[in-house]
Structure formats: structure tokens, C-alpha cells
Amino acid sequence: MNVPKKTIILCTGILISVLCTWLFARHIEWKMLIESFNDAEYFYILPAIAASLLAYILRAMRWQSIMLPIKRISFVNTFSFVSIGYLANHILPARAGEVIRPAMIAKKERIRVASTITTVVLERVFDLLGLIVFAIVTLILIPSPNENEIKTINTVQESSYESQTDNINHERNETGISFLKSIKKWIGIFAAAGIVAIVLLSLFVIYPRQVTNFLHKFFAYFPKRICASLEHMLESFIAGLQILGNLKHMVWILFLTMVIWILTAVSMYALCFSFDLALPFTGSCLVAVCLAFAVALPQAPGYIGLFHLATQKALEVFNIEIATSQSYAIALWGISIIPITIIGILFLWREGISLKDLSKFEEQNIGN
């Protein structure tokens, strides 16, 4: 029996999310977690949400700029489908919004779907390049774990309950150092992937005729119907790469990308004040880097589990008390997911599309 590819991806993502949720929740002390939320200063959530939404606005501006060689599209329409795309990512499996939003805007603006999909691919390339630069700078500026002037767990114990909590924290301190080393290795892998992506895209831009002729010869081995479809997609893809031929435009896109990453870290840093976290700004940058890696992995819709575990692991590097790190992770998930999801629902209503229609649209454009 052939199992649909989408079903396999969904089941794999759910299993990963369930495992990560268990790893995150197994050390939760509910009393301390509730106390952490009760003691939180919720005023600081407002600037955290503001910085997060501003990052989404800049993402819409960036996508608008990337699509400029194809067609000039209004900011309102661009932001509308960016919001709907994130809504789809949060409620549908396999990051469906990455295909839904270019397909939707192509239908509304009457342009080729392949061209708009190319712009999303370029977005991810710029995101990858920005992440590599952002991560390298973060790791250079971040203090070594054994140099952190933070409160250690070597305090006088007053009860067996506190002793058990400190033993857990001691384990977290040791894993925090190894976790930071793992992040450095992953950044090296992503840097290599970024270089490969740049080389391939550069070949398309510098030698479009040679690459096109090579691919046409390669497509000839496929049946005529598939060959015609591939050639049509190739033409649209090359048209979407026109942005790479304008150096000034590329610099602007890269600038927006770096500001987006910085605003993401600013949002996370602002939230630290709600829970009185003794976290430097480079710490919030590390959280942003870890989450960027985490959300790229297969998981259940809404990034349940993996988002929380990645945040907690990043905070272990700074010896943040476990109940505080867990409450922070839950709050960060809330301000990262809920506001843009609500905005996506409002824009979905503006476009006259229901959540049920969105699911059908995903099936039509992604298939099994």
C-alpha cells in the first residue's frame, strides 16, 4: 500500500513534536512554573510583540522588493499573503504556507506561480545568508559558558526539594556547554549549504544560456508532457532570478534581512524583562539562532514542542533557572505564534477565504 508523502511528513512531524514536548515537560515543576507566570511583568510583552510584528512587516517589504522585477505589487497585498502564509504554517502540516502564499498571490495578481515560488526560494536563500552572518557574529560576541558571571548552583541547600532542583540545574549546565558546541557545528554546515546555494544561483545569473541549454538537454530524457512542464517552470524560475542581477537591489534585500534578524532578537530580549531573566542581548540572539534551526525541522503544525525545547536548551548556556526558562519559552511561543495567526485570519477574511478553503487550497497546490 502506497502511503501519501504528505501523510508520512505529517506523522514524522507529530512524532518529533511529541518527543520534544516530553523532553521539555518532563522536568516541569508546575508550582514553580505557575509562580513564575504570576510574578511576571506583562507590560514588557507589548514591546516584544511590537518588535515581532515589525519584523513581519519588513518581511513583507522584502518580499515586495524581491517580486519587483516580476510585477509591482502593493504592500497591503504582500503583507496580506505573508500573514496568511504564516497562518497556514501554524495550522497546516509541512510548512504549507511556503507554497500557499506564492500560489495565492500569483492567482490574485495574475502572474506565473513558478515565478512567485522562485521569489520564496530567494527569500529562504537570503534568510540563510542572513542567519549565517547573524549566528557567526553572535558566537563571536557571546561569552564562553565558564566566563559567565552568573549565579551558580553551589548554594546552601535548605531542603531535599531544593537539592533535587539543583541537581537538575547542574545537568543542564553541563549540557548547555555541549549544546553551544553543537550549534557551532550546525552553523558550519549551514554556511556550506549557503555557499552551494549562492554558487548555483550565480550560475543561473552569469551563464543563463549555458545552464538553460544544459537543462533542456536533461529534460529531453523525460516524457514530452513532463518535459514541457519542466521547461515552463524553468523559464519562470529564471525570470524570477532577475533580482540577482541588480547589485543595489540585492544590498537592500540583505539589509532588510539583517534588520529582520535583529528585530527578532530584540523581541526576545524585551520579553526577558517580563520574567526578570539575567540574559545579555547576545543571549537573545542565541535563542533566535537556535529557533531558526529548530523550526526548519519536520514537526507538528504550530512548532509545538521543538520550539519550547530549543528555547530552553539555548537558555541552559546561561544557567537560567529551569522554571523561568520554561515559562519564558511558553510565553515566547505565544507572542511568536498568536498575534501573526490572528492577523492572518483577518486577512483571510479580507480575501474572502475560509479556513476550510485554505486547507483545500493546500491540497490543490501541494497535493499528496
Is residue 299 domain-resident? Answer: yes
Q: Give me the pLDDT at residue 159, please.
A: 44
What pLDDT score does 227 carry?
80
The string of pLDDT tens digits covering residues 80-101 is: 999 999 999 998 887 888 889 9
User: Residue 287 pLDDT more than 60?
Assistant: yes
Average pLDDT, integer, range 230-258: 77
Q: Answer yes or no: is 29 within a domain.
A: no
| The Cα angle at residue 362 between residues 95 and 298, in degrees rounded to 5 | 20
What per-residue confidence (pLDDT) applies to 148? 44
Domain hosting residue 41, numbered range: 36-145+159-366
Q: pLDDT tier at 324 (50, 70, 90 boundaries)?
A: very high
Does position 173 have pLDDT exceeding 60, yes or no?
Answer: no
Count of CB atoms within 10 A of residue 207's CB? 12
Would you say 63 and 78 are in contact if contact means Cβ atoms under 8 Å apart? yes
Q: Are 348 and 358 in contact (CB under 8 A)?
A: yes
* 361 or 109, higher pLDDT: 109
Task: Tally the C-alpha atoms within 13 A of residue 357's C-alpha that lie toward its C-beta.
Answer: 9
- Please give the pLDDT value at position 306: 92
Which residues lie closer than 8 Å to 346 by C-beta, 6 or more apart?
83
CB 36 within 8 A of CB 324: yes
Domain assignment present for residue 313? The answer is yes
Domains: count for the chain: 1
Average pLDDT over the chain, rounded to an integer: 83
- Residue 179 located in a structural domain: yes
pLDDT confidence bin for 300, thresholds 50/70/90? confident
- Which of 2-11, 159-168, 264-273 has maximum average pLDDT? 264-273
The pLDDT value given to residue 365: 62
User: What mean pLDDT is predicted for residues 36-62?
Assistant: 96
Amino acid identity for residue 77 in this structure? N
Give 140's pLDDT tier (boundaries 50, 70, 90): confident
In angstroms, the CA 127 to CA 258 distance is 9
What is the spatial distance between Cα 355 and Cα 337, in angstroms, rounded to a whole number?
A: 17
Least confident of 152-156, 208-212, 280-284: 152-156
Would residue 10 count as lying in a domain? no
CB-based contacts of 322: which residues, under 8 Å, 6+ apart?
27, 29, 165, 168, 169, 172, 312
In this predicted model, which residue has the larger pLDDT, 29 or 4?
29
pLDDT of residue 241: 67
Please check whether residue 89 lies inside any domain of the structure.
Answer: yes
What pLDDT does 118 receive?
84
Task: Check residue 172 and give its pLDDT.
Answer: 53
d(CA 22, CA 308): 11
Copy the grid coordinates of residue 283: 543571549
Residue 25 lies in a domain: no
Q: pTM here?
A: 0.83
Per-residue confidence (pLDDT) for residue 354, from 0 to 100? 84
pLDDT at 147 over 60: no
**Is residue 332 in a domain?**
yes
For residue 237, pLDDT beyond 50 = yes
User: What is the band of 243 on the pLDDT scale with cuts at 50, 70, 90?
Assistant: low
Least-confidence region, from 2-6, 49-53, 142-146, 343-347? 142-146
Q: Which among 252, 240, 164 has a CA at the least distance from the CA of 201?
A: 240
Looking at the predicted structure, is the pLDDT value of residue 260 above 80?
yes
Span 110-134, average pLDDT: 87
Q: How far apart are CA 122 and CA 200, in angstroms?
A: 12
- Is the pLDDT at 40 greater than 50? The verdict is yes
